[in-house]
Structure 1
Amino acid sequence: MSYGGRDQQYNKSNFNSRGGDFRGGRSSDRNSYNRDQQQGGFSGGGFSRSNYNQPQELVRPDWDAELPNLPAFEKNFYVEHEVVKNRSDEEISKFRKENEMTISGHDIPKPITNFDEAGFPDYVLNEVKAEGFANPTAIQCQGWPMALSGRDMVGIAATGSGKTLSYCLPGIVHINAQPLLAPGDGPIVLVLSPTRELAVQIQKECSKFGKSSRIRNTCVYGGVPKGQQIRDLSRGSEIVIATPGRLIDMLEIGKTNLKRVTYLVLDEADRMLDMGFEPQIRKIVDQIRPDRQTLMWSATWPKEVQNLARDYLNDPIQVQIGSLELAASHTITQLVEVITDFEKRDRMVKHLEVASQDKESKILVFASTKRTCDEITKYLREDGWPALAIHGDKDQRERDWVLAEFREGRSPIMVATDVAARGIDVKGINYVINYDMPGNIEDYVHRIGRTGRAGATGTAISFFTEENKSLGASLISIMREAKQTIPPELLKYDRKPRGPHPRYGGRGSYGRGRGGRGYGGGRGGRGNFRSRDNGWGNRN
């Protein structure tokens, strides 16, 4: 097999030998395609120097005319390990059943069970083992062979299940088999992300595992000046991780192009559609060559995501871990208190008193609005609690600083809007408090999923008010599936009452929020907390 545009021939046996110098496959002929077009001079979407700094409406290129001028590339790098090849269908079926895998499509590669079976070259494998991972996660066991095979694919798994590495490592292998970037070239791998925080987190993984190959990456997102991002793009980056809006800005002013993108990742696709990014996604994908490999990753599989996959994926294969029914991790203890808005602050402080007994605890508090977020933070700080806030009105520098303080434990309480509901992977979050319930049950599952990650246990506390009654039935369903204790006060909102519970306690079932008073005898004595070391030291 020959990779187009290079002065060496590489076949799959060369790749599987993993001699450690696979990057040599990207050396080669910098004249592998017509460099007089390198500055975006391709028709239908390029930018000449004369209009390079002026915003231009993006036009879908004429790909029939464009493709002959673009470098040929290879997508299929998967060589089935001998051990995997010899596994029987019965063994494969048992493994998939044990890991709750559901697959669809034809000619799907068999799953692997350990890192050595994945067929990664040594430079990738050594980076993975250096991180101390014992075994691949379920989505990685099936996702890696699928992604390496070059097929368009869909991966559906809960947050915190290892989806980022599922596409990051095959992406690095993909890059190393392509011709080197020339001046004016855009990225080879493009990852679209719904939020800045998730984009930055993805960049960290790409940096960590791409350093041995000297692969450059750039994170492109709004909320910060464009200057540094423009300089990074101009220098050339094999991987671009971007939020849709800022990437379109860069395309419209001609600071990058997507002609070289052959590996496209849509991460948290469901969240991007929830946030209204579908028009931007479609505009971006139209700028990418149609013979690319496209990988879509999502925590859920709603109709909107299915429609996007149908439009932009070619004969895809799919793996789903767990049920498509929305469910919360069973390692999370869910506590729901039916109270009034006036009781929320007192109840929050009571839970903070308990949580702070463990000096290593990190607590994530979710509020519905930016204003509430700031009000809670001010209240807690005035009361001596080490709290910081993060939300969309904070500039990126402050958001990065707050997240770093929280991650390192210097400020173990972070109050956030739903900007932190997905994509923020901070170790040691033992408690999540839903000060305000989210607008839908999907966000509830993602919020509480910030704790109890990677097999650890966690506690999620939610304050449920009469205003949240539309969430009652679905919340009860989530709790039942996870075998959680449902408070009698909440059962009145169930559409499907169970058991002999007439009227679910009537008016008295609210109990005025008294169900949790065992934490220390009520609100009194708040001032004493300032002089008491409860595991976080003196909060003055």
Structure 2
Amino acid sequence: MPSSWADSVSHADNSASAVHRTSYVPPHLRSRPPPSSVPRAADTFPKAVPPSALTTTAAASGRRAGGSAGWGRRDREPNPFAADEEEEEEEAAAFDGRENTGINFDAYDDIPVETSGDGVPPPVGAFAEIDLGDALNANIRRCKYAKPTPVQRHAIPISLAGRDLMACAQTGSGKTAAFCFPIISGVMRCCPPQQQQRPRGGSRAAYPLALILSPTRELSVQIHEEARKFAYQTGVRVVVAYGGAPINQQLRELERGVEILVATPGRLVDLLERARVSLQMIKYLALDEADRMLDMGFEPQIRRIVEQMDMPPRGVRQTMLFSATFPKEIQRLASDFLSNYIFLAVGRVGSSTDLIVQRVEFVQEADKRSHLMDLLHAQIANGASGKQALTLVFVETKRGADSLEHWLCMTGFPATTIHGDRTQQEREYALRSFKSGSTPILVATDVAARGLDIPHVAHVVNFDLPNDIDDYVHRIGRTGRAGKTGLATAFFNESNLNLARPLAELMQEANQEVPRGSHAMLLVLLMVVAVGTADRVAGPALAAGTLGKIPPLAREGEAVAITMVVEDMEAGDMGSLRHMVGAAAAAMVVKGSPAHGTDDHPHRLEI
């Protein structure tokens, strides 16, 4: 599929600015030193690592790992922090003044945490209390992690104790570090690769010690980037493998050696069938976004990988399963894959964080674009130095994403897209452009809904609401991450009636204000389901007791005449509903009367 309109413009600008060199001075010769010259230390060693310190650091890492210094075969390791350090000042300026910067650790103190299982290790209050190794602790400081998040406080001690773990936590709570830290620390303590007892016979297969499975290419790349930072100068090599990209480069990376393999299920099955990866030596297995993998239909591949591909059985390997929700399918997976595991729940399972301000606005389909433009103009007016805050807009279809992106660009709002039809290169370019603020609006389908950690996202707009409340939770979780505050706006209309009840319940649990001043029908639907006593709501053109699409309604501010039949509502609940509706929209008249003179029969609301 061709690149998006915004990406094409960017590529064109880069091409236009390229310097045309004459043919008699090849570019690669201009910067190349003479053959006899000795390379400078700065060209040989990673940035910020003096040459004299490399041997000392590698030796120390090797002693911590219980093996030879630096594991011998690592003669040069790229600095994964280099790009962060070079762009730190530029990023700070780009995102200066945005409301969601900074980690609000105090907000974590009130998050409920539940653990169950035998012999649960106590939580820790600081990384210094955990024996992770000097090299890993140094990288934690370089990542500027001040103190562990709730899921890290509990999950890391559990994993370091060698226990299997089933963890449910709110999205954006620091789950990646919660499983990466124990895995890297454990691999450092294992025997170095050259001392492992590996099968003979000239096999070209890679034998990782740890496997991290994730549902999407983007999440796998993200985990790989974070794990490389955590593993810097520890002697632990991290490799990523995912579909949608040439396999040859990934094979070359695997041939260089791998201790931790991050992979999507489909690509890993391909590598296993090619006999290029063996799972015989796996000591650690982590499944991230397990519920998402099941939603995407990966359960057969996951079970094949874990149960039929020579992976050590449960009880021999250590398994960590992370999920934002805990449906029956995940419970079965935990029962099959985990041994004597500890269950950890941080916050309500499947809930959203109250650090995200949620707004629900009634917007007809034909008015969505103009309403989105109003929101974007308001953001610029209220933002620092007139900058557009990073805004993630979710739509239902790939065609809708491309269409909305083109319309935004044509109306003066730089935007890009990410969805399943874009190539991996295009998707990675779009994410980089969005993260840097070059195109501060990202239009996405659910391919980007889970797991991606994009810093500084100030606003998530559900242009098209999903059909499932769990998908809504994952979407809005792209903001309000790691204790930061964020804003989520949902465009709601009569086509989203199936979300009315769970959306109202979710907003109440997250201490959100139920919509006020919105369209009368939206308000009443949310209020009725929030009371929690009405199972069925009927519009005037529908048979009583059915829930379906209500006829077109009058716009806000116009007279509305609707009769709703609410079944099995007690008199006290009717009074509560009347009070709630009246408080939110004093201009509405709400009448309730028993149909047959008793409180046991349906009441009729006239609005």
Q: Provide the residue aligned with 1:348 in structure 2.
A: 372
Q: Provide the residue aligned with 2:266 in structure 1.
A: 245
- In structure 1, stretches of 5+ residues that fail to align are 1-17, 31-95, 516-540
Q: Provide the residue aligned with 1:79 in structure 2.
A: none
Structure 2: distance between partners of 1:361 and 1:339: 22
Question: How many Å apart are 1:469 and its aligned residue?
Answer: 0.9
Structure 2: distance between partners of 1:226 and 1:514: 59
2:464 paired with 1:447: no
Closer, same or farther in 2 for the Cα pair 1:489/1:336, shift >3 Å? farther
CA shift digits 1:369-404 (9 cap, x unpaired): 101111101111111210001101100001000000
2:394 paired with 1:366: yes
- In structure 2, stretches of 5+ residues that fail to align are 1-58, 72-107, 195-203, 541-549, 559-607
Q: Provide the residue aligned with 1:128 in structure 2.
A: 140
Identity across matched positions, percent: 43
2:291 paired with 1:267: no
Closer, same or farther in 2 for the Cα pair 1:99/1:430, shift >3 Å? closer
Q: Which of these residues, 188, 208, 216, is aligned with residue 187 of structure 1?
A: 208
Q: What one-letter code is carried by the residue in structure 1 that aligns with 2:529?
A: K
Q: Which of these residues, 377, 386, 410, is aligned with residue 414 of structure 2?
A: 386
Structure 2: distance between partners of 1:278 and 1:176: 31
Q: Equivalences for 1:488-499 in 2 at 5 Å?
A: 488-494=520-526, 496=529, 498=531
CA shift digits 1:109-165 (9 cap, x unpaired): 111111111122111112112222221101111111101111111111111101111
Structure 1: distance between partners of 2:408 and 2:111: 42
8 Å CA contact retained: 1:111, 1:145: yes
CA shift digits 1:208-256 (9 cap, x unpaired): 0101213211111111111111111122111111110111011111111
CA shift digits 1:85-132 (9 cap, x unpaired): xxxxxxxxxxx9955111111011111111111122111112112222
Q: Equivalences for 1:48-67 in 2 at 5 Å?
A: none
8 Å CA contact retained: 1:363, 1:412: yes
CA shift digits 1:474-500 (9 cap, x unpaired): 11111122232323542443453649x
**TM-score, normalised via structure 1 length:** 0.75
8 Å CA contact retained: 1:339, 1:513: no
RMSD: 2.6
8 Å CA contact retained: 1:153, 1:318: yes
Structure 2: distance between partners of 1:222 and 1:101: 36
8 Å CA contact retained: 2:66, 2:192: no
2:257 paired with 1:236: yes
Question: How many Å apart are 1:23 and its aligned residue?
Answer: 4.1
SS at match of 2:232: helix
Q: Equivalences for 1:312-323 in 2 at 5 Å?
A: 312-323=337-348
Q: Which of these residues, 262, 266, 279, is aligned with residue 258 of structure 1?
A: 279
Structure 2: distance between partners of 1:104 and 1:397: 43
Closer, same or farther in 2 for the Cα pair 1:482/1:390, shift >3 Å? same
Q: Which of these residues, 281, 288, 293, is aligned with residue 318 of structure 2?
A: 293
**TM-score, normalised via structure 2 length:** 0.67
Q: Which of these residues, 353, 357, 360, is aligned with residue 333 of structure 1?
A: 357
Structure 2: distance between partners of 1:24 and 1:267: 26
8 Å CA contact retained: 1:194, 1:272: yes
Q: Provide the residue aligned with 1:146 in structure 2.
A: 158
Q: Provide the residue aligned with 2:507 in structure 1.
A: 479
Closer, same or farther in 2 for the Cα pair 1:486/1:23, shift >3 Å? same
Q: Provide the residue aligned with 2:431 in structure 1.
A: 403
2:142 paired with 1:114: no
Q: Provide the residue aligned with 1:137 in structure 2.
A: 149
Q: Provide the residue aligned with 1:219 in structure 2.
A: 240
Closer, same or farther in 2 for the Cα pair 1:508/1:310, shift >3 Å? closer
Closer, same or farther in 2 for the Cα pair 1:454/1:497, shift >3 Å? closer
SS at match of 2:529: coil
Closer, same or farther in 2 for the Cα pair 1:21/1:233, shift >3 Å? closer
8 Å CA contact retained: 2:224, 2:240: yes
Structure 2: distance between partners of 1:408 and 1:97: 31
2:114 paired with 1:102: yes
Structure 2: distance between partners of 1:514 and 1:165: 50
SS at match of 2:475: helix
Q: Which of these residues, 264, 276, 289, is aligned with residue 297 of structure 2?
A: 276
Q: Which of these residues, 165, 188, 195, is aligned with residue 176 of structure 1?
A: 188
Closer, same or farther in 2 for the Cα pair 1:437/1:304, shift >3 Å? same
Structure 2: distance between partners of 1:130 and 1:309: 34
Closer, same or farther in 2 for the Cα pair 1:24/1:301, shift >3 Å? closer
Question: How many Å apart are 1:300 and its aligned residue?
Answer: 1.2
Q: Provide the residue aligned with 2:87 in structure 1.
A: none
Structure 2: distance between partners of 1:311 and 1:112: 29
Q: Provide the residue aligned with 1:198 in structure 2.
A: 219
8 Å CA contact retained: 2:62, 2:68: no
2:536 paired with 1:512: no
SS at match of 1:166: helix
Question: How many Å apart are 1:319 and its aligned residue?
Answer: 1.4
Q: Which of these residues, 137, 145, 159, is aligned with residue 171 of structure 2?
A: 159
Structure 1: distance between partners of 2:166 and 2:192: 28
CA shift digits 1:38-61 (9 cap, x unpaired): xxxxxxxxxxxxxxxxxxxxxxxx
Question: How many Å apart are 1:20 and its aligned residue?
Answer: 5.5
Structure 2: distance between partners of 1:292 and 1:229: 25
8 Å CA contact retained: 1:489, 1:504: no
